[in-house]
Structure 1
Amino acid sequence: MKPSLALAALVLAGTAVADDYLYSRRLAKRFVDDDGHYNVTFFHINDVHAHLDQFSSSGTTCEDPEKGCYGGYARIKTKVNELREQYPDNLWLNAGDEFQGTLFYQYYGGEKIAETINDLKFDAMTLGNHEWDGGDEALGEFLLNLTFPVVSCNVKSEVSSLNQTIKNYHIFDGHEIAVIGATTTTTPSISSVGNTTTFLEPIAEVQKAIWEIRNETDVNRIVLLSHLGYNVDQELAAQTEGLSLIIGGHSHTLLGDMEDAEGDYPTIVEDLNGDEVFIVTAYRWGEYLGAIDLTFDDEGKALAYHGAPIHMDNSTSLDEELDDKIQDWAEAFSEFAAEVLGETDAVLVQSTCQDGDCLLGQVMADAMFEYRFNQTEGTDEEPALALINAGGVRAEIDEGEITRGEVLTAFPFGNAIVELVFSGEDLRKVLEGAVSYVNQFNDQEISSWFQVSRGVRIQFNPDNEPGSRLVNVTLNGTTIDDASEYRVVTLDFLAGGGDNIFVATNDFITLDTQDEVLTQYIVARTPLSPELEERVVDSDGQASGNETSQVSAGGEAEETQGEDAAGMLSIPIWTAVAGAVLAAMVL
């Protein structure tokens, strides 16, 4: 074993990375001593989302490597091979969400992803929610092709291929380390999970696995490989005992001391016994490779660490053999992806979509609204607004030419456009849930922010209690009327209960796919010159009544305040064809 102090060279090997170097309170000086303190290095990655190839800063295809490109499994393979040779006592772990995000998944499914991550020789992987995007059987086929263990202690399934491949934990005898896995319980609402697969509460299941490992083996060094999200990881660390390290994913959290980092690498949380648990995660798409060197005492407790994320930029070369394979695979869809649809004068920003209004989210919502409005103009079926989930907006579109590949990368799920009809009372209740993150019909958590179309202005007070945050909603300057009906253009995924923004229903008809609707919008309006609008805005007001806003001589609405309401009735899009409703295609 090599003293972990040597990992300083590892950190210096990465660019734009600081030397995050802290000591536990329980060890004043780093060393491996005669009392059995053991040192092991963990390399980790999460949320690659089918970015097999290197990519530009926006997440789209790297067109000019000299201008700066990131990630790509050929680059990651080079770095991991270097590190594994330098630090032979290591584990190389994957925290999930390999599926969905580029044409490598849309064109090949899981086939090329499996081949690539087998080539990377991971030691273990846990499952992300997007691994279920193709359903249970497709995931099972993918897992049967993997050459390393897959762990997730809170996933229980009656599907034989999943039962055969998913373990609660795996013990690495050479290191006497157990790696437990856990997957977010939101997976059934945001992916395509079958009705014989369930997700148990992870904190209890992780603790149960820890006790089982301690009682039935001699192993006391225990690590959690988590696809729960950074905040849940911290909660789990505080509410369990026996873990030393949590390697996380799902929330795409940047940790370290670089600009825009959301916390320390590692973040340290005390468990139920007052022992320290180190929490790490490595952002998204393979732009960073996590690397942490941990020292354990003879009781399996973490004493000290050394490490930092390594930026996977052009300073690390691509593994030629793997890169050649990836480029060959990309040839199959390169011509299709390279088709130029139009241009944009502005960067269509994705990164802020979960925090508030974002330009790409607004463009997509506008495209959906215009698509349906053009179909119904002059009839009593004209839509009132369009609403999408921020979580479905996956990658930025750069200024300049817009290709079909960029559209598919930004909106990769194949969702279809649908329309739902609500009373004004129920629509305000839907929107109250959206700004409160709690569905007001079923009292369950909503798992994504949202974006709305032009002409919509939603005011909410974030300081109010959930359920009382909505202050007012106007559509083209007029406050929603409780007694009127409003048509909402949205996605089949959301209508079917995805992200819990709406109460799940199959009472709708599917129309064109989301990517085709955006394609039509770009072709018709090129060049796009969008400007970010304030559509969902903070307010210090309070809901006080359902009054119609008065429009001033200048054309600006004087905003009055609406009130929250109860009761929901979902109405079919076209009552004349109510019997012809199609089932939702939830992805």
Structure 2
Amino acid sequence: MKMKPLALATLCASLLITGCSLDGDDGDRGPQGEQGTPGTNGNDGAQGPQGEPGPQGEPGATNRAIDLTILHINDHHSHIEAETFGFDVSGLDLSARTEAGDELTELDIKYGGFPMLVSLFDTLASQHQNVLKLHAGDAITGTLFYTLFNGVADAAVMNQICFDAFALGNHEFDGGDSGLAYFLDALNSTACQTPALAANVVPAATSAIVSGYIEPYTLVKREGEWIGIIGIDIAGKTKNSSQPDDGTKFLDETTTAQQTIDELKAMGVNKIILLTHYQYESDLALAATLSGVDVIVGGDSHSLLGGESFTALGFNPVGDYPTQVTNLDGDPVCVVQAWEYAHLMGKLDVSFDADGVVTECAGQPYLPFRNTFSYAFSDSETRTLNSSDTYTVTQALTAYPELVVTLPDAATTDLVAGFAAETDVLKETVIGAASEDLCLERFPGEGRSALCDVSATRAMGSDISNIVAKAFMTVTPTADIGIQNGGGVRVDVAAGDFTIADAFTLLPFSNTLVTLEMTGQQVIDVIEDALANRLDNAGSTGSYPYASGLRYDVDASETFGNRVSNVEVNPRVAGTWQPIDLAATYTVVTNNFIASGQDGYTTFGPIYDAGNFVDTFTEYAQGFVDYVEALTDNGQTLQKLPASEYSTKTYIGRDGCNHSTEACTGY
């Protein structure tokens, strides 16, 4: 049972969305804060069909030098609220103390989110001429705001900014072509009318987006100069890891980009921006192979670009902002990206000569934060810093040039609050049912379940953890095997209705699903690592491994390297069980916490640290919601898996007791 999204009209009425309308008649802000005109994006040259120039003049008639300011974001993934990061205040000598008289050592700083981003976009747009506002894709999927509103919440806050162009990302196809159409209907339900760009996407003849939804490029006019903006989506990843309709084609990124650049050049447009969802390193390589490209505003890799400020704050920049390379002509290309989750906005200033060649580019990301600071005075009381301490902390933060105090936009704050209130209600939506009690366990025989007697989990461990591993494998089309640590699954599931809230209680952490390519030997090694974390290193029992498409015998009385035996694989549980091939490569899906080597899963670590993984950016609770909804749509319920699918085939405890044949106690 896929939860039906609320109708746009209902959302407009219930949330009082400013400018929200199904016919696009209500006015909304155009670029640079001006009143927009439906279908024009507020530009001074009307756009004709397929992005061709309108009646106010042909492109290239009077090419001349121009300065542009590009304000951009990417990969916000339905993160529309502010989040927090920890800031070290131990050296600031604040007067605030805890109830115990201790000095404060760290504060949680509220930053990012659309209410602050809208204010920041408005402020910077008002301070510059010739502004472009761009979004480089993956607006949707990742939080409950997508689970419950299917892109309507994202569209509403995006329309508060009113982007000049939006490039499709791979996750825009997570709900198929019809899901993308629903999101784009919402995005164009106001006067803003943001063009959705993807030059290398060719919808199937029966696709919901086949007519009028996407364009290869858009043309905007600034000071009489036409600027071409071309959209490029990441082809292989979208086809293999998302859910586009059969027959919707994704063409080669490089070939399509050059063909479209040539088309615009033939029209006389000599200032070309690629708006890509193609990854930072790929953008750098792409620039070198293309003639005529000037700027690439990218996404998909969630790359933070910038300097030492971000490193000092505990973030991890991967390159310069902007990164300057050269194209096939030997001319400069300025490449930028703006991290993730609406954390910050990139601001790129570009100067073009009359021939359309970049003569200079500079800029930096801006991370907006709120300078109202709270701290835990005691376990039961939160207090706010006084004005003197607030000033001290604000000065320390703004010493980093990328950090700017930002007052959230009032209208957007109310908009987000409305969706959040609806979310609290809709969390109780029933998405399926459990036909029997599903017991929680970590190590077989530990006795953690609050619902089941230990005799039910003594032999093969947790019912629900095995199901979670299968869910992750099922919703990740490229995965052969799913692996989940027992501690990441938090509660039993009782027979009866199952709600969205239940899924987020079961899997409460902000983990995302990632895939890694591993040899059979590495798969065995990571299972051995997870067991050793508790048995040898006194780590948490939560490291016990559960899997789908993988099963094994465990002997906890053995030494490290000898505890796992008779390992078998059945990729996607779609065939027969076979002994694992130590030299073969398997695609493993897991959560990004243990993928980074945490909780004792050390073999994962070097693979992850080298960047040899793919982050689906699907929160793991969201993945389980999708799994339950798919079961319900097929007339099925949550129930215990067949014994043949439990990853622990047999378990011998640390004391040598065989849990399959004896009434062992403990693990």
Q: TM-score range, shorter-chain basis? A: 0.5 to 0.7
Decide whether the 8 Å contact of 2:441 with 2:462 is kept in 1.
Answer: no
What is the match of residue 324 of structure 1? 414
Pairing partner for 2:369 from 296, 307, 313: 313
What is the match of residue 209 of structure 1? 260
What is the match of residue 114 of structure 2? 73
In structure 2, distance between residues paired with 1:451 and 1:171: 54
What is the match of residue 255 of structure 1? 305
In structure 1, distance between residues paired with 2:461 and 2:502: 36
What is the match of residue 131 of structure 2? 90
Matching of residues 15-164 of structure 1 within 5 Å:
36-57=64-85, 67-145=108-186, 146=188, 147-158=193-204, 159-164=207-212
In structure 2, distance between residues paired with 1:487 and 1:117: 45
Return the letter of the residue paired with 1:252: H
Return the letter of the residue paired with 1:299: D
| 1:80 CA displacement | 0.8
In structure 1, distance between residues paired with 2:457 and 2:110: 44
Return the letter of the residue paired with 1:119: Q
In structure 2, distance between residues paired with 1:487 and 1:208: 45
Distance 1:165 1:35, change over 3 A: closer
Decide whether the 8 Å contact of 2:64 with 2:355 is kept in 1.
Answer: no
In structure 2, distance between residues paired with 1:408 and 1:491: 27
Confirm whether residue 169 of structure 1 aligns to residue 220 of structure 2. Answer: no
In structure 1, distance between residues paired with 2:528 and 2:245: 30
What is the match of residue 241 of structure 1? 291
Decide whether the 8 Å contact of 1:337 with 1:404 is kept in 2.
Answer: no
Return the letter of the residue paired with 1:410: S
Distance 1:574 1:206, change over 3 A: same
Matching of residues 525-544 of structure 1 within 5 Å:
531-536=599-604
1:159-185 Cα shifts (integer Å, max 9, x gaps): 142442111111113441000011112
Pairing partner for 1:290 from 346, 361, 376: 346
Return the letter of the residue paired with 1:187: T
Question: TM-score, length-normalised on structure 1?
Answer: 0.58
Decide whether the 8 Å contact of 1:456 with 1:474 is kept in 2.
Answer: no
| 1:109 CA displacement | 1.0
| 1:501 CA displacement | 7.7
In structure 1, distance between residues paired with 2:250 and 2:261: 18
In structure 2, distance between residues paired with 1:113 and 1:168: 22
Q: Secondary structure at the match of 1:252?
A: coil
Question: TM-score, length-normalised on structure 2?
Answer: 0.52
In structure 2, distance between residues paired with 1:366 and 1:201: 48
Matched-pair identity in %: 26
Decide whether the 8 Å contact of 1:244 with 1:301 is kept in 2.
Answer: yes
In structure 1, distance between residues paired with 2:441 and 2:276: 32
| 1:488 CA displacement | 7.4
Pairing partner for 1:178 from 228, 242, 257: 228
Distance 1:487 1:152, change over 3 A: same
In structure 1, distance between residues paired with 2:220 and 2:422: 39
Decide whether the 8 Å contact of 1:365 with 1:453 is kept in 2.
Answer: no
Runs of 5+ unmatched residues, structure 2: 1-61, 87-106, 371-404, 429-439, 489-500, 534-551, 575-583, 608-640, 646-667
| 1:478 CA displacement | 4.3
Distance 1:295 1:68, change over 3 A: same
Return the letter of the residue paired with 1:127: L
In structure 2, distance between residues paired with 1:127 and 1:366: 44
Return the letter of the residue paired with 1:148: T
1:68-127 Cα shifts (integer Å, max 9, x gaps): 111111111111111111113110000011111221111111112112212211110001
In structure 2, distance between residues paired with 1:128 and 1:434: 35
| 1:376 CA displacement | 7.1
In structure 2, distance between residues paired with 1:241 and 1:136: 32
Matching of residues 549-560 of structure 1 within 5 Å:
none
Confirm whether residue 187 of structure 1 aligns to residue 277 of structure 2. Answer: no
Return the letter of the residue paired with 1:235: A
| 1:134 CA displacement | 1.5
Q: Secondary structure at the match of 1:286?
A: coil
My pick for the range that moved more, 276-285 or 266-275, is 266-275
Distance 1:491 1:474, change over 3 A: closer
What is the match of residue 232 of structure 1? 282
Decide whether the 8 Å contact of 1:292 with 1:307 is kept in 2.
Answer: yes
Q: Secondary structure at the match of 2:287?
A: helix
Q: Secondary structure at the match of 2:333?
A: strand
Return the letter of the residue paired with 1:193: P
In structure 2, distance between residues paired with 1:213 and 1:82: 32
Return the letter of the residue paired with 2:246: N
Query: Highest CA radius of gyration, 1 or 2?
Result: 2
In structure 2, distance between residues paired with 1:502 and 1:89: 50
Distance 1:364 1:229, change over 3 A: farther
| 1:328 CA displacement | 1.6
Q: Secondary structure at the match of 1:48?
A: coil
What is the match of residue 324 of structure 2? 268
Return the letter of the residue paired with 2:568: Y
In structure 1, distance between residues paired with 2:153 and 2:77: 13
Pairing partner for 1:410 from 478, 497, 510: 510
Runs of 5+ unmatched residues, structure 1: 1-33, 59-65, 339-362, 416-426, 436-449, 458-472, 493-499, 505-513, 519-529, 540-572, 578-587
Confirm whether residue 455 of structure 1 aligns to residue 498 of structure 2. Answer: no
1:424-445 Cα shifts (integer Å, max 9, x gaps): xxx984566999xxxxxxxxxx
Return the letter of the residue paired with 1:296: F
Distance 1:364 1:480, change over 3 A: closer
| 1:532 CA displacement | 4.5
What is the match of residue 9 of structure 1? none
Distance 1:303 1:434, change over 3 A: farther
Distance 1:380 1:279, change over 3 A: closer
Decide whether the 8 Å contact of 1:286 with 1:312 is kept in 2.
Answer: no
Matching of residues 479-558 of structure 1 within 5 Å:
484-486=566-568, 502=586, 531-536=599-604
| 1:299 CA displacement | 1.2
Decide whether the 8 Å contact of 2:69 with 2:130 is kept in 1.
Answer: yes
In structure 1, distance between residues paired with 2:232 and 2:455: 46
What is the match of residue 615 of structure 2? none
Matching of residues 292-441 of structure 1 within 5 Å:
292-314=348-370, 315-334=405-424, 378=459, 407=507, 410=510, 429-430=519-520
Task: Give the alignment's Cα RMSD to 1 decimal.
Answer: 4.9
1:434-491 Cα shifts (integer Å, max 9, x gaps): 99xxxxxxxxxxxxxx99982289xxxxxxxxxxxxxxx9976346999x45267989
In structure 2, distance between residues paired with 1:266 and 1:172: 22
In structure 1, distance between residues paired with 2:181 and 2:356: 34
In structure 1, distance between residues paired with 2:573 and 2:148: 22
In structure 2, distance between residues paired with 1:430 and 1:405: 32
| 1:131 CA displacement | 1.1
Decide whether the 8 Å contact of 2:230 with 2:273 is kept in 1.
Answer: yes
